[in-house]
Chain A
Amino acid sequence: MQKLGWTALAVLLLGACAQETVTPAADTDDADTGDTTSAEAASSDGPVRPPLDPYPSTYAAYPSGPVLLANATVLTGAGDRIDGGSVLMQDGKIVAVGADLEAPEGASVIDAEGKWVTPGVIDIHSHLGNYPSPSTDSTSDGNEATAPSTAEVWTEHSVWPQDAGFTRALAGGVTSLQILPGSANLFGGRSVVLKNVPSRTTQGMKFPGAPYGMKMACGENPKRVYGERGGPGTRMGNFSGYRSSWIEARDYKKSWDDYWADYDEWADGDGEDDAPEAPARDLQLETLAGVLNGDILVNMHCYRADEMAFVLDMTEEFDYDVTSFHHAIEAYKVADMLAEKGVCAAVWADWWGFKLEAYDTVPQNAALVHAQPGGCTVIHSDHALGIQRLNQETAKAVDAGRRAGIDIAPETAIQWITANAARAMGILDQTGTLEAGKMADVVVWNGNPFSVYAQAEQVYIDGALMYDRADAARSPRMDFELGQLGEDEFTGGAGQ
């Protein structure tokens, strides 16, 4: 890492993108789709329907007993702060949050006096797994930079669950994260949302029921990658690429909608004619059609204000939504437009200057986006070190806001790396806040998480203690790190 130069950074930043979430389960039609094998089902069993979730999550929470975290400063992620507060977890869920909670029989009671308790940190923009450690040609799987539109790729097929970066992120309080394809392409492919619990398989980490996202990219990256490889070579080329694809996607969606309508009509008929023939499947257009259907959430890597404004018009032209702009260096110049459209800006606190479209960074960006009525700020990492301290990045952005006259309380700021991220990833109904019924994804900090000295002491995911700074047995170590360094007996792990 120390020797990463600008070229390497460029590769890293190509990772940046926009994400969309697709919720297969949200599709009312999939009830009769059944399992993945029905994708090409014979017409006698109903119409052909492409599989919505052919690589389903096998994640399951680890066992946990009831736990009462008592007497802490609780930031609920729902906007509240409770001094002397308690959080009760049971069966993997948040049961209650309040000032005076009774411990149920058999509960472990943890006196958290002096500690701060928050929802698990969520990173909306990560490349853990698809640009893992060690970083070699062998493991560089984040950018399918072979064509400007690769909406057909699914980044879960690149994610290496043995990336040691997951463990370091866990020690930083990260309980859920979205892995995005890189930003070399206009359409980079599908994202995947993970729970930060190690597994032998990527399916074992997939966040149950999370919608898919799709990555798109504005500006310099596609130009730079394809400018001498057939294009696009300009920003206008980028937009013509997006628009041509949306036109194709609209036609593709219509061909399937028409087919299902024809099928229903045929099924209601006398059965004398042959069943209508399903259109040919196209993986690329299937993902784009998923966006047009509202199932897949668009994560749009975009730095410049003028480009974000054009993207917003493009969503009108083709009737889809961008859920979040990523990096959004110049979001502060169009923060009103983003707020009006309900689009989140996922930003860094202070990264800048690595390319011209990142020249106009201001540390107040996050706060200026937040200050708009309806503004939605998310702090993201896009980086295997940054993901370990999203709390610190938030603290700096909050402080910059304060100096601009925008006061943001800790109970609000925590939402930038919890609830707001969850909202933009389509999982806010399941996690992102400490509210009864939600997943018990909880971090116990040794103090105010917005201090440079703060450390996550315990991290619970679905109620199970997955990291404990004081207990080496609760510190995951990936296969790659075992047995390294010989006599130094250094085995890596979450606390390193």
Chain B
Amino acid sequence: MSAVTIKTLFSSAVIAVIGVVSASAQTTAIMNGEVHTAAGGVIENGDVIITNGRITQVGADLSAPAGATVVDAEGKVVTPGIFAPLSTIGLVEIGLDAEANDAGPQREVGFPLGAALDAVDAYNPSSILIPINRAGGVTRALSAPQAGDSLFGGRAAVIDMSGRTNSITKRQAAQILEMGYSGATRAGDTRMGAWALLREYLDEARSYAANPNDYVRRPRDGRFAVSDLRALGPVIAGDQPLIVSVNGAKDIRTLIRLKNTYSLDVIIAGGSEAWREAEALATAGIPVILDPLFNLPAQFEDLGATLENAARLNEAGVRISFYNPPGFGAHNLRLLTQQAGNAVANGLPHDAAIAALTINPAEMFDLDGQLGSLEPGKVADVVIWEGDPLELDTQPEAVFINGQRQDLGHRQQMLSDRYRDLSRGDLPHAYRGGE
């Protein structure tokens, strides 16, 4: 079966055009801000015009269209919305509360499936994590399952942070894979086992994809669930990014070989030693999603961890973005800007940090035609910040998703307001706020 056929098989999984909600013609004009377009430049006194959910104009000295809602951004900074490229947002409410955590199967319980799991099935747009992080400027995220006993976590989806019932931007946007020592613990406690098992999966998925009807009829290895192999179809076709958790340089070198052998679209997650293979990663076109704060030899595969990882990778031409461990992170995606600020303090150019938070993730998931920068034609995910978005005393003043201005209130704010006054009052605290 040709790659083209495989693409056809799975094309239904991809929503090519982002649905922009618009009951009627709406125009918003953000005027006179310091506009960081993430498309190659900063426009002092720049304007961004949004019509029907999309950006229609970006530039200096524009005129607000008649009837537009004008937002004065003088003295403010305007950027694309923050795009979290790896998270469990919408899958986890409380980490240690099993019923409120769907981020992935429990370990060591023998649950048989991995790649077949799909974040869309469990994604909860009503999670309180969404408005809390939206208030920090996060407008899009990859909601990704974490691996249980399988090497594979399953299919991740790009979502918008509106909290709408229909907030899936792109389903099956990536497949999740644990390698490095994390993978080894799922494969006999040796990295050799993890790589061998991964090759088996890819070979079986190829075999399945070549002729699904024949594959299911003939005797087969029961270790590979057909649903997992089917889910890996777009991965072996090179159509779906495979996000691979690896840290050590030795694992990264093996991963590059495997990517070339199987023609995979690979993204690294973690990559604490990725700087050691920066040139090779640039050549192979492998992006890295990293935690720029991580600088400890926490495990032997992290011996080269350094605060300069982001700067060195960027310098070598590797596309980078950030995530917020532990796990893939979910509760504090709002801190990606702080993490980016620390990367800047350790050598990453400021504009590269903005790109890492916006356009780079959009490119990783092949959404850069529609998201990630402030350019005419793109979906209007826009944030107006009080100042430098990376600073610790800066918050969004306005957040637009799909052109819609978002409510920036959330549960933490309500709790804080409720207990601002601890006096006994006329009625208990349970009667205050939230009405």
Interface residues in chain A, defined as those with a beta carbon under 8 Å from any beta carbon in chain B: 1-10, 12, 133-136, 164-165, 168, 220, 224, 332-336, 350-356, 359-364, 368, 384-385, 388-389, 392, 395-396, 398-399, 402-404, 450-455, 480-481, 484-485, 488, 490, 492, 496
Return chain A residues, CB-CB under 8 Å to B192.
none
CB pair B95–A353 under 8 Å, yes or no, is yes
21 residue pairs of the A-B complex, CB under 8 angstroms, read A1-B299, A2-B247, A2-B270, A2-B325, A134-B302, A164-B296, A333-B419, A354-B96, A354-B331, A356-B97, A368-B416, A384-B298, A388-B293, A392-B342, A398-B393, A452-B342, A452-B392, A490-B304, A492-B297, A492-B303, A496-B306
Return chain A residues, CB-CB under 8 Å to B245.
2-3
Return chain B residues, CB-CB under 8 Å to A454.
345
Q: Known contacts A332-B416, A490-B303; is A392 also within 8 Å of B392 by CB?
A: yes
CB pair A168–B296 under 8 Å, yes or no, is yes
CB pair A452–B341 under 8 Å, yes or no, is yes
CB pair A5–B327 under 8 Å, yes or no, is yes
Within 8 A of A (CB), among B95-149: 95-97, 100-101, 103, 107, 129, 146
B196 at the binding interface (Cβ < 8 Å): no
Return chain A residues, CB-CB under 8 Å to B381.
none
A80 to chain B, nearest CB (A): 22
Return chain A residues, CB-CB under 8 Å to B76.
none
- B8-16, B57-65, B176-184, B357-365: which lies at the interface: B176-184
Q: Would you give the 0/1 interface string for B239-282, flagging 1 where the beta carbon is closer than 8 Å to chain A? A: 00000010100000000000000000000011110001000000
- Could you say which of A9, A168, A385, A451 contacts B95, with CB atoms under 8 Å apart? A9
CB pair B331–A352 under 8 Å, yes or no, is yes
Return chain A residues, CB-CB under 8 Å to B35.
none
- Could you say which of B291, B295, B391, B422 contacts A496, with CB atoms under 8 Å apart? B295
CA–CA, A450 to B338, complex, Å? 12
B412 at the binding interface (Cβ < 8 Å): yes
B188 at the binding interface (Cβ < 8 Å): no
Contact count band on B? 35 or more
A177 to chain B, nearest CB (A): 16
**Dominant secondary structure of chain A at its interface with chain B:** loop
CA–CA, A284 to B419, complex, Å? 39
Query: Which residue on chain B has the smallest CB distance to residue A360?
Result: B415
Interface residues in chain B, defined as those with a beta carbon under 8 Å from any beta carbon in chain A: 93-97, 100-101, 103, 107, 129, 146, 178, 180-182, 245, 247, 269-272, 276, 290-291, 293-300, 302-308, 325-327, 330-332, 334-335, 338, 341-342, 344-345, 390-393, 395, 412-413, 415-416, 419-420, 422, 429
- Could you say which of A353, A356, A404 contacts B416, with CB atoms under 8 Å apart? A404
CB pair A3–B178 under 8 Å, yes or no, is yes
**Dominant secondary structure of chain B at its interface with chain A:** loop
CB pair A451–B272 under 8 Å, yes or no, is no
CB pair B96–A1 under 8 Å, yes or no, is no
- Could you say which of A133, A404, A453, A485 contacts B420, with CB atoms under 8 Å apart? A404
- Could you say which of B96, B296, B332 contacts A6, with CB atoms under 8 Å apart? B96
CA–CA, A168 to B307, complex, Å? 10
CA–CA, A429 to B305, complex, Å? 38
CA–CA, A12 to B296, complex, Å? 15
Q: Known contacts A1-B325, A355-B96, A488-B276; is A396 also within 8 Å of B392 by CB?
A: yes
Return chain B residues, CB-CB under 8 Å to A492.
297, 303
Q: Known contacts A368-B420, A481-B303; is A6 also within 8 Å of B294 by CB?
A: no
CA–CA, A435 to B334, complex, Å? 38
CA–CA, A364 to B276, complex, Å? 41
CB pair B303–A484 under 8 Å, yes or no, is yes
Query: Other CB < 8 Å A-B pairs besides A1-B305, A353-B330, A452-B391, 7 of them?
Result: A6-B326, A351-B331, A355-B94, A389-B342, A452-B341, A452-B344, A496-B308
Return chain B residues, CB-CB under 8 Å to A395.
392-393
CA–CA, A362 to B415, complex, Å? 7
Which of B129, B247, B271, B295 has the most C-beta atoms of chain A within 10 angstroms of its own C-beta? B295
A284 to chain B, nearest CB (A): 29
Query: Which residue on chain B has the smallest CB distance to residue A403?
Result: B395
CA–CA, A334 to B413, complex, Å? 17
Return chain A residues, CB-CB under 8 Å to B94.
353-356, 359
CB pair B291–A1 under 8 Å, yes or no, is yes
Return chain A residues, CB-CB under 8 Å to B103.
6
